[in-house]
Amino acid sequence: MDLAFLPALNATLNGLSGVLLVFGVILIKQNRPLAHRRCMLGAFGVSTLFLICYLTHKIWKANTGQEMHTTYHGQGWLKGAYLLILLTHLVLAMMVPVLAIWLIRLGLTGRTQAHRRLARWTLPIWLYVSLTGVVIYFMLYHFNPPAPGNSPGNLALGQIHTPGNVTLNIGEGNFRARH
């Protein structure tokens, strides 16, 4: 089974989680706590689904002999910006499940003041992780320059290099992607 679609799905889930978080904040500011609760639980559910899909993709890549990680080939300040975004994303992403579960528990047990205090810290972190997850996806799969030595000028006749570091082999009317 080809699970190469999962990075795009993961970016979509990250984006959806961010949207649900924003709507959840709007709803609580409108004094609609039940709708807020549903929205925030939806954000948590979508984030959980993201984590399952992310791990599934990594396991699939390992089991099919592929590189576990997609390399970003940008140079100079672009590489530095990518690494900074990736590092902060990873560190903060490890905190989100713990903070989210804690928030949910506080909210569901009626500890509103403690929930609000923790949400002031958690919401920006969770939103940052959601947004940077989408940014990282686009940097890796849509705006990733070719690897050194694998520039479009070095491809064999009948090959096309696309953004996202995929080489399309074109022959006899067939398109085969090599990632």
Q: Are residues 160 and 72 in the same domain?
A: no
Check if the beta carbon of residue 85 is closer than 8 Å to that of residue 136.
yes
Classify residue 73: in a domain, yes or no. Answer: yes
Check if the beta carbon of residue 23 is closer than 8 Å to that of residue 36.
no
For CA atoms 19, 88, 51, 102, the dihedral sign is negative
Classify residue 1: in a domain, yes or no. Answer: no
Q: Which residue has the tokens 């074109």?
A: 170
Check if the beta carbon of residue 70 is closer than 8 Å to that of residue 141.
yes
Q: Are residues 176 and 119 in the same domain?
A: no
Classify residue 41: in a domain, yes or no. Answer: yes
Q: Are residues 72 and 126 in the same domain?
A: yes
Alpha-carbon distances, residue 105 vs 96, 143, 173 (angstroms)? 14, 40, 57
Q: What is the pLDDT of residues 64-117, one digit of tens each?
A: 999 888 999 999 999 999 999 999 999 999 999 999 999 999 999 999 999 999
The structural domain count of the chain equals 2
Q: Is the pLDDT of residue 165 over 60?
A: no
Classify residue 54: in a domain, yes or no. Answer: yes
Q: Is the pLDDT of residue 160 over 50?
A: no
Q: Are residues 77 and 134 in the same domain?
A: yes
| Residue 47 CB coordination number (10 Å) | 25
Query: Which residue has better confidence, 21 or 168?
Result: 21
CA angle at residue 120 from 101 to 90, to 5 degrees?
Answer: 60
Classify residue 97: in a domain, yes or no. Answer: yes
Would you call 168 helix, strand, or coil by DSSP? strand
Q: Is the pLDDT of residue 172 over 60?
A: no
Classify residue 89: in a domain, yes or no. Answer: yes
Q: Are residues 86 and 170 in the same domain?
A: no
What's this model's pTM, rounded to 2 decimal places? 0.81
Q: Are residues 52 and 66 in the same domain?
A: yes
Q: Are residues 22 and 67 in the same domain?
A: yes
**Confidence (pLDDT) at 155:** 45
Mean pLDDT of the region 122-147:
96
Classify residue 100: in a domain, yes or no. Answer: yes
Residue-range definition of the domain harbouring residue 178: 147-179
Indicate the pLDDT class of residue 168, thresholds 50, 70 and 90: very low
Calpha distance 139→152 (Å, rounded)? 18
